Amino acid sequence: MKLVLDIRKSVEENAAEYFEKAKKAKKKLKGAKKALEKSKEKLKKIEKKEIVFEEPKIKKIKKREWFEKFRWFVSSDGFLVLGGRDATTNEIVVKKYTDKNDLVFHTDMAGSPFVVVKSEGKSIPKTTIQEAADFTADFSRGWKQGMSTLDVFYVNPEQVSKEANPGEYMPKGAFMIRGKTNYVTPNINLAVSIYKDKAMAGPVSAIKKHCKEYVEIVQGEKKTSEVAKKIQKKIGGDLDEIIRALPAGGCEIKN
């Protein structure tokens, strides 16, 4: 080892200087050894740890029932009630899903849905007839116009036809009604709930029968999406389903 001495200092002073340098070097070496030991310990812990890979969360795709493409609710008496959303679904409801002994509801106002009560071979009670009439009015143009009531009628399936009178044209979603019509005075009232994990909108009496939690809706000018978010906060459910369940033309939550 080569030592460099300062000739301006005495032997004792040079010795003292090297002694201090040696002490500092020893401390640094000790610190380096400690740091090395800590690094080794951390490495051992990392090697012992099992690497856990989290599986990506996959949103479950809900199985949709065939009737969910339409407007629908279950009456107080347990009957499935279907309604068209537009001209296309009006055609489908009447042509494909209307059977003998069902009842078909409509209004005298253009732009209203065709509504069908599925009888499943059973006699349809007055309670369900009234609720189906209310439902028809709820999703008619009368809702948009702020009407409190309007004329709703029902007929048997065989009275509904696509065959127009001579010289007349039957547009898509429209049908000719022949024979006696039975008129019902509806009450425009609507509630939304979660029924069997599905957003369902219908007359308040029917919703109360099947669901503990529900939100009553009235005519209004607020955006459907805005109202749907508030409903979701109250009762849960899928936001898109709630939006689809609400009537077009604006609404509000009943105070």
Q: Per residue of the chain (255 residues), what is the pLDDT tens digit?
A: 565 656 676 767 666 676 677 667 666 777 777 777 877 787 777 666 655 556 666 656 778 899 999 999 999 999 999 999 999 999 999 999 999 999 999 998 888 999 999 999 999 999 999 999 999 999 999 998 989 889 999 999 999 998 888 888 878 888 989 999 999 999 999 999 999 999 999 999 999 999 999 999 999 999 999 999 999 999 999 999 999 999 988 899 998
Give the ranges where 7-125 is alpha helix by DSSP (H).
Answer: 11-48, 87-97
Is the same domain home to 112 and 134?
yes
Is the same domain home to 93 and 202?
no
Does residue 223 lie within any of the structural domains? yes
Which structural domain, as residue segments, surrounds residue 250? 189-255
Cβ neighbours of residue 32 closer than 8 Å, sequence gap 6 or more: none
Is the same domain home to 112 and 179?
yes
CB atoms within 10 A of CB 128: 22
**CA atoms of 239 and 255, how far apart (whole Å):** 21
Is the same domain home to 136 and 72?
yes
SS3 content of the chain, % helix, strand, coil (to 5): 40, 20, 40
Does residue 72 lie within any of the structural domains? yes
Is the same domain home to 86 and 177?
yes
Does residue 25 lie within any of the structural domains? no
Per DSSP, the residues of 200-250 read EEE-HHHHHHH-SSEEEEEEEEE-HHHHHHHHHHHH---HHHHHHHSPSS-
CA dihedral 182, 160, 189, 196 (to 10 degrees): 130
pTM for this entry: 0.75
What residue has token string 């069997």?
196
3-state secondary structure of 181: coil
